[in-house]
Amino acid sequence: MNKLLSGSFYIFFLLIVGIGNAIAGASSIGLAHHNSHTTHPTIAAPGHSLFAFGVKRGLEKKGNKNKQFPHPLYGAAEERVTQRSAGGVSCLRAAAQSTRETINFNTGWKFHMAYDVRKQPETINVTLPHTWNAQDVLSGKGNYQRESGIYEKSFTIDPAWKNKRLFLYFEGANSVATVLINKHFVTEHKGGYTAFCVEITGLVKPGETNQVEVQVSNAARTDVLPLCGDFNVYGGIHRPVSLLVTAKDCISPLDHGSPGVYLTPSSVSEQLATVNILTKLSVTASTGLQIRSEVIDAGQHVVASVTNAVSNNRNAAQTIRLKQPHLWNGKANPYVYTVQVNLLKDGQVIDRVTQPLGLRYYHVDANKGFILNGKYLDLHGVGFHEDVEGKGSALDTADYDEDMQLIKEIGATALRLTHYPHGKYFYDLCDRTGMVVWSEIPFVGPGGYTGAGYLKNPELEGQARQVLTEMIRQDYNHPSVCFWGLFNELKLDHDDPVPFIKELNTLAKKEDPTRLTTCATFLDGDRFNQVSDLIAWNKYYGWYDGEFKQIGVWADKTHHSYPQKAFAVSEYGAGGSPFKHSENNVKPDADGKFHPEEWQTSYHEMNWLELSKRPFIWGKFVWALADFGSSIRTEGDTSGINDKGLVTYDRKVKKDAFYFYKANWNPEPMLYITDRRNEVRTQQATVIKIYSTMAHVKLRVNGTVIANGEPDEFHIIRWENVLLHKGKNKIEVSATTDRKVLQDTCEWTMEDKNGITK
């Protein structure tokens, strides 16, 4: 653990104010609550009562800035960008302000693999985020580059910061990061998907050149999560880095990488909301210090504020009340306030932290599903990985924006951020777009594969507790987050994980009694039913085995067997290639190379037909939004790819199943011809199927009107036994809405059995 953080480790305990109601609510028959009257685990100072307040990245070879570096370890070849200070010394200047500065620290890094210990190792210039695995993971071999790389950066500190404090904030380095400043060890952080912060004030020299070195390892270890999984553990500093500059007295950035401010709504209604604010401090003396917290609405007006004297050096607790609050109501109205917490000394602001505030209340009913602000909300959406072709997990904001646009287009209301906490920027996007979020730690089992996701290893258990604490504290203030996930697909053939999962659940409830905990299992039975507030199952009927309709039979049986336990379907999906097709739609071999798009489409149509009829399933999450890298995969079109995505790895092709969900989840007018990429046909009589949110759709084949059609309850129109001509056939559909004509068209070629079209 970070030696500089060790002084910030506190003994946490709960002051129980209304906690009995929370426990009773969560354990009520068939009901799990987000209770707006619960407490946040606060630190009480002696004698005080704290009330629970309810760019493309450039890769250049050293010594030749014009030469591209195509080595597969270092990301996508043929990419470069002119970097300010690339290969030189970053000059960091103080801004003309007295409050905290957050400075981009992503440029000017040099990188080489750690095994290269020559006097002049082969070094490249990189801009963060970066991974060395963007290419080699696609070989279809499980032994991709899992070792250590070294990042180095030289920088100078503005002499104006002589009386300031300096911190480096890493949003994520996968999987173990060792930080040195001026060749002296500072800290080690285990876990690649949560942030960490380290103070470097006493280790750097203003006005001189300083050096930071970060050695990062993604080697498999038995004391770092995940131990295994059907996804790649991309090595590198794969998330942004910032330099924080604060006053000597500041709001602490050292509380497990959190913002140091915790906002806890504690009794929310349309009439009134109470918000409790806990601010962690790092100060030498409290004399003359005050905390002023302001709630700012979307129009940038201060609608509530409170100022208190700081009475101890560790924390400050405040309460703010808002009358007729504007509630955060998912996609319908994702209203977010801003809370500015200011630290003042002798009346002057010396530090400021800004956080989002969304006011909402919710619970999950075992019979009625998810209830937000008193009304049922159908939670349907996707799970997905931070993984994009050519970049791996080293995403920038444009990548996050593109994925969110896809999520919005498809009409999702909820997201499962699998199988680890995602990047900070994406949680902000979820807040603003109204997504209901399930965020989980990388406690991942091998599912149907060999290996163990858990070993009764004290070091591993300690790391799991650490990453759970970090996830909760770092993402505590995001209104989009409603569920904390404790594991995915653990098995029972190694050390029994159940006792430890119960410990994790207790820790999660201590850290945040206001949210619900859940897990994702693939094992039938009730073995995991008592480890968390909610439970969910990963089910693939009609892909790995079984038939499509079995998911409905299973759901009804499970609901009957455990009527008091609210459950979700955390994963369901099938592989599909937009470049492979079948006219007969015969079930393919999941482990084979032939994954026709048509079977994936049928899978989702029939599974959604069953799931949509059962509101007691509190969440339905498609696996997955996009194809992603998994080095163990050798099926489908491309080795090293899990092809269950609704869009391709490069995000360029939206598969037919994407448009099926868009038709069912997004009310916007649309028409889409399915099977459009099956361009070469051998059967003269065919089915033309479309997805439509519009009525009175007209079908033309080769310019001739065939018939009008009306969509069924799942927005599908089918025309049976439509005859194709030999050669090219033009398929057209159209409909009119609000005096606007929507059209879609494609072209199919019919061949005879010898491939002759004329």
Position 359: which residue type? L
Chosen domain end from 301, 330, 357: 357
Q: Is 552 exposed, middle or buried (0-12, 13-18, 19+ CB in 10 A)?
A: middle
Residue 94 lies in a domain: no
Residue 521 lies in a domain: yes
Question: 542 pLDDT band (50/70/90 cuts)?
Answer: very high
Residue 279 lies in a domain: yes
Q: What is the CATH number of the domain that holds 628?
A: 3.20.20.80
Whether 239 and 351 map to the same domain: the answer is no
Whether 619 and 660 map to the same domain: the answer is yes
**Total of domains in the chain:** 4
The DSSP output letter for 201 is: G
Whether 465 and 557 map to the same domain: the answer is yes
Chosen domain end from 667, 702, 734: 667
Residue 233 lies in a domain: yes
Chosen domain end from 249, 274, 296: 249
Whether 437 and 468 map to the same domain: the answer is yes
Long-range Cβ contact pairs of 666-670 (< 8 A, separation 24 or more)? 666/409, 666/410, 666/411, 666/693, 667/411, 667/693, 668/693, 669/693, 669/694, 669/737, 669/740, 669/742, 670/694, 670/742
Residue 16's CB is within 10 A of a number of other CB atoms, namely 13
Whether 127 and 216 map to the same domain: the answer is yes
* Containing structural domain, residue 346: 261-357
pLDDT at 757: 62
**489: annotated active-site residue:** yes
Question: 738 pLDDT band (50/70/90 cuts)?
Answer: confident
Whether 389 and 302 map to the same domain: the answer is no
Between CA 423 and CA 436 the distance in angstroms is: 16
Residue 137 lies in a domain: yes
Whether 696 and 640 map to the same domain: the answer is no
Phi, psi of 233 (to 5 degrees): -100, 90
Q: How far is CA 677 from the centre of its chain?
A: 31
Whether 289 and 388 map to the same domain: the answer is no
Between CA 672 and CA 439 the distance in angstroms is: 33
Whether 229 and 145 map to the same domain: the answer is yes
Better-scored residue on pLDDT, 699 or 96: 699
Whether 169 and 275 map to the same domain: the answer is no
Whether 505 and 397 map to the same domain: the answer is yes
Q: Answer whether the bond into residue 70 is a cis peptide, omega within 30°.
A: no
What does the pLDDT look like over 312-342, one tens digit per residue? Answer: 999 999 999 999 999 999 999 999 999 999 9
Between CA 300 and CA 357 the distance in angstroms is: 14
Tell me which H or E stretch contains 558. helix 550-561
Between CA 523 and CA 538 the distance in angstroms is: 8
> What DSSP string runs through 661-716?
HHHHH--S--EEETTTT--EE--SEEEEEEEESSSSEEEEETTEEEEEE---TTSE
What does the pLDDT look like over 444-490, one tens digit per residue? Answer: 999 888 889 999 999 999 999 999 999 999 999 999 999 999 999 99
Asked whether 211 and 436 are in contact (CB, 8 A), the reply is no
Q: CA dist 209 to 156, 204, 751, Å?
A: 5, 9, 71
Q: What is the CATH number of the domain that holds 238?
A: 2.60.120.260
Whether 605 and 581 map to the same domain: the answer is yes
489, 571, 598, 610: the active-site residue: 489
pLDDT at 635 over 50: yes
Asked whether 655 and 648 are in contact (CB, 8 A), the reply is yes
Report CA torsion sign: 672, 674, 677, 683.
Answer: negative
pLDDT at 69 over 70: no
Position 175: which residue type? S
What does the pLDDT look like over 210-246, one tens digit per residue? Answer: 999 999 999 999 999 999 999 999 999 999 999 999 9
Residue 71 lies in a domain: no
Question: 9 pLDDT band (50/70/90 cuts)?
Answer: very low
Residue 190 lies in a domain: yes
Residue 581 lies in a domain: yes
pLDDT at 119: 86
Q: What is the CATH number of the domain that holds 689?
A: 2.60.40.10
